[in-house]
Amino acid sequence: DIQMTQSPSSLSASVGDRVTITCRASQGITNYLAWYQQKPGKVPKLLIYAASTLQSGVPSRFSGSGSGTDFTLTISSLQPEDVATYYCQKYNSAPGPAFGGGTKVEIK
């Protein structure tokens, strides 16, 4: 089975900072990768799919890149409302979808 590993598991940054989260697949998954944001006490929300396609309504400060085994989610200018846990998810390969362990983003 393909394993998804995120790093770091948590980070603290200042408002306005550029934040980068990494997701690594144990095998190549082309661009079959999505990113979700889960704010405290809330339901996960889709941010990005196909590694780099921004979901409608998601602020443009969020971006995704990568293919194969290495992917990144970047927040170009961290805002207070971005405090959340972010998950990557691989799809379109057996046996089923799989999530990374999550990255908790806090404001310094």
Partner 1 sequence: EVQLVESGGGLVQPGRSLRLSCAASGFTFDDYAMHWVRQAPGKGLEWVSGISWNSGSIDYADSVKGRFTISRDNAKNSLYLQMNSLRAEDTAFYYCAKIGASRQYNYWFDPWGQGTLVTVSS
Sites of contact with partner 1 (CB under 8 A)? 34, 36, 38, 43-46, 49, 55, 87, 89, 91-102
Nearer to partner 1, 14 or 42 (CB): 42
**Sign of the CA dihedral with 39 first, then 41, 43, and 44 last:** positive
Kindly state the smallest distance separating residue 68's Cβ from partner 1, in Å: 18
Kindly state the smallest distance separating residue 31's Cβ from partner 1, in Å: 12
Nearer to partner 1, 45 or 61 (CB): 45
> Among residues 28, 2, 7, which one has the least CA distance to residue 97?
2
CA distance 101 to 79: 23
Nearer to partner 1, 17 or 46 (CB): 46
Nearer to partner 1, 30 or 38 (CB): 38
Residue with tokens 């806090």: 106
CA distance 44 to 61: 18
Kindly state the smallest distance separating residue 91's Cβ from partner 1, in Å: 5
Kindly state the smallest distance separating residue 33's Cβ from partner 1, in Å: 9
Q: Phi-psi bin for 39: left (phi > 0), alpha (psi -120 to 50), beta?
A: beta
